[in-house]
Structure 1
């Protein structure tokens, strides 16, 4: 019977494929047996340093060997992992440490000073994995034989806690259990046939939940996790070919960067057999570049919030270089909900063709770290009855639906992403979807990418449209948009940029655009 935990599944892979490559990061290439030895030794060091089994371990590291070894070592000890951004302000990380009750922090060498400051402020034990410490951990002849941990986690224990932006400005902690994330990973491995010989990219920062998908789909299936550095991500063709990757995972924005360099030419990445995008609206031009660059691959668009364990829907959008038709708004659909999940689309509490996507099932988390955040984020609904929002006064059950906050449209039996509920604004009394304005602007033949944000004036709310591609006179763009949208949806400003700014997760940074409007 398969283990119910992430670390148990990793150990199973170690037993079955000890000599397969598990991790290729920076200057380190480790087999499953070698990585497991490092992890076991590190777990022993952590238990000795802390004098007890830590319950929650902060991971203050970039995508490096200390990060991956620390992740597995924490799971081996039965702890929940809390990824933290080494580049974030100290105050934010102190807040996360206090909110989660961190009792241990694993840091890489670059984050050693912040780990020390965090330890002083929030009192967790801190351990920095310097090059010297790593060398000792990797030396097969150094150190005693590792001990078996005294306690192991179970399916209902928390595997990791991610923090997402909250509407109050305070980040919300999302605890995800082993059974939640494994429900997704097991489906994905079976659907795409991942296994030994698969070589996966790992492009997401560890504070972005997509990283959990990338890491553990590789290690549960027996594939190799291959970690590009930031310079490699913006030059993916060179990296894919040098490392002979078979699977590429990223946000679509990466395609825009690669496309501008002209490197994604037909047949330029022949080793790729599967390309998965997620995290942003996916446009046909992005799909076409990759589909032609990897002519023997299938390309999929995926969707899912952190609260639903990374991915809850998928749409095949290209195979063997042939693209499918996009949805009516010009973007690719997000497809069908995974078969082991339930979903409903609701508008004003009743089923609708366009409305908020609500989901429940084995991937749904059991509520936020702070229970006060649960009110309004779940609801009760039965066919034929209006939905009842959850007020937090009773315990959550498996019957409660999670409200994604995303508006979708049902089109030909598939879901099409419309926009965030908070992106639906009012202009002069009219409801406006920012995504609809962006789609209209992207339909211009000379425009590559577009993002629309709001700004405030003495006359009310204005719309600023940022775009890449050929710089065009604003009057021409206004005329183009006037043929496609009502007057109240026309942007007041058009701003040309060489490239749209990206945040740490590789998504378009709408906050920085709004701040500059």
Structure 2
């Protein structure tokens, strides 16, 4: 086998291969792929990429997607996971921004590519050729090289690329190895779409320990206890919205999830009563609330839930997010950018931090210089408890978390203004028992909500779509004669508190995946 550089993300899989060559690396429904088979498929994809340095993987949760991601890493390329259900224009834009010259696509992905037009520059849709398979991963991966690139919502309607290096992922997963006791006997849920950074936790924690990744279909929530028992799932990871959904489906009875050893939640605020209910349903499981923006490599803090002590540590009903990972520094700053000891915006620097956005023009206000060092401003307001643990209090800016999606409200507003008859738009996030919901207020000509929904489906991913549209003759203004977003947020909360709205939200809501 070709000698490979120490520290590349793909080495997580090689470690699992050494432990579990003939055991399942991946299960998708009734289809099982062993470590040995997935390794060989990845080598075939790697050899077929023709030296491409940036590779898009446009696929659903199919074997092609997982083998393509691994194969691009084996080839020493940057992986750009792409979702085939995203609007075609958005996918095209991300391919162009990333500089991808090759694409691994499954059947759904190929259909998307066929609709993107013929003028994408030098884009090779790769066919796997066993005759070109590598004998082993290519050498030369350096810590600063980009392992994968993900895209977050941007305020101008243009997604922002976030490159994550092999060095960052190595630091991250070595910390997780020390914190958790995953083994080849574990079975990991895989609820997240592959273009969402939490999916990297699932894949490379499982593969680094020789465990199995079990792809979780949306139908699993109809009877989650039965699904987890049938599939032998021992490690669960999802957004907190999954707890609300399991509760609505009567899947959270005490002791209903006895096979779980670990339960992780991230992507949005975890409420104390949700954590308590899940812990009661999975009494043998250790539950952790883990937090982190994409720019800080999946997650950067963690709080281990203790039914006896955690409830009293919650603030506004929200579970602490824990301590910042070892090897990183953090500060809290007030509105004047002065360091404050107890409560303020969270800034972090350290080895998990991305070097910056793909386009340096996007760095402003996020990646900042402070005391001679580069920091990432999270835009999250947190409180520091006496022992150093942090509690998330809310966003400072115009972003909201929607079932794990970090959404710039300005992007939703930007796209809706392009709809015929719309003059001005304000989008706000309002809290419901099922999580944050997006409500849009607009001026101009009244239009049926279904017309807006159809238009935005062509522009925004499903996870960013508003579910409520309200026409106003004019926006309320505050004392500074600016649009009163606080007033509109209060109106939205009242709107969503109506029984009919709650019913509609419950039927439509579902966790990421």
Provide the rounded CA distance (Å) in 1 between the counterparts of 2:497 and 2:510: 26
- Could you list the runs of 4 or more consecutive aligned residues of structure 1 that deviate by over 6 angstroms after TM superposition? 142-145, 467-470, 501-505
Which whole-Å deviations, capped at 9, do the CAs of 1:215-250 have from their partners, x for residues lacking one? Answer: 111112222111112212454322211111111000
Per-residue deviation, 1:262 = 1.0
Which residue among 308, 317, 320 is the counterpart of 1:330?
317
Deviates more, 1:248-257 or 1:14-23: 14-23
Distance 1:241 1:88, change over 3 A: same
Answering whether residue 501 of structure 2 is matched by residue 499 of structure 1, we say no
Distance 1:304 1:334, change over 3 A: same
Q: Considering only aligned residues, what root-mean-square deviation do their CA atoms show, in Å?
A: 3.0
Answering whether residue 87 of structure 2 is matched by residue 89 of structure 1, we say yes
SS in 2 for 1:499: helix
**Which residue matches 1:36?**
39
Whether the 8 Å contact between 2:5 and 2:139 is mirrored in structure 1 is no
Which residue among 99, 102, 110 is the counterpart of 2:100?
102
Distance 1:504 1:2, change over 3 A: farther
Per-residue deviation, 1:379 = 2.5
Answering whether residue 70 of structure 2 is matched by residue 72 of structure 1, we say yes
TM-score computed with the length of structure 2 as normaliser = 0.78
Flag structure 2 segments of 5+ consecutive residues without an equivalent.
401-427, 443-473, 478-483
Provide the rounded CA distance (Å) in 1 between the counterparts of 2:153 and 2:133: 43
User: Greater RCO between the two (CA within 8 Å, min separation 6)?
Assistant: 2
Per-residue deviation, 1:41 = 2.0
Distance 1:146 1:2, change over 3 A: closer
Provide the rounded CA distance (Å) in 2 between the counterparts of 1:119 and 1:316: 49
Provide the rounded CA distance (Å) in 2 between the counterparts of 1:178 and 1:424: 28
Provide the rounded CA distance (Å) in 1 between the counterparts of 2:325 and 2:114: 43
Distance 1:159 1:452, change over 3 A: closer
Provide the rounded CA distance (Å) in 1 between the counterparts of 2:132 and 2:374: 49
SS in 2 for 1:57: strand
Flag structure 1 segments of 5+ consecutive residues without an equivalent.
383-396, 426-433, 473-493, 508-517
1:201-280 maps to which residues of 2 (within 5 A)? 201-233=189-221, 235-280=223-268
SS in 2 for 1:325: helix
Which residue among 327, 351, 358 is the counterpart of 1:340?
327
Which whole-Å deviations, capped at 9, do the CAs of 1:191-213 have from their partners, x for residues lacking one? Answer: 01112112111111111111111
Provide the rounded CA distance (Å) in 1 between the counterparts of 2:126 and 2:219: 25
Distance 1:449 1:23, change over 3 A: closer
Which residue among 155, 158, 168 is the counterpart of 2:156?
168
1:434-445 maps to which residues of 2 (within 5 A)? 438=431
**Which residue matches 2:403?**
none
Per-residue deviation, 1:151 = 4.6
**Which residue matches 1:120?**
118
Which residue among 132, 136, 141 is the counterpart of 1:153?
141
Per-residue deviation, 1:287 = 1.1
Distance 1:205 1:501, change over 3 A: farther
Provide the rounded CA distance (Å) in 2 between the counterparts of 1:128 and 1:356: 45
Count residues in correspondence. Answer: 439
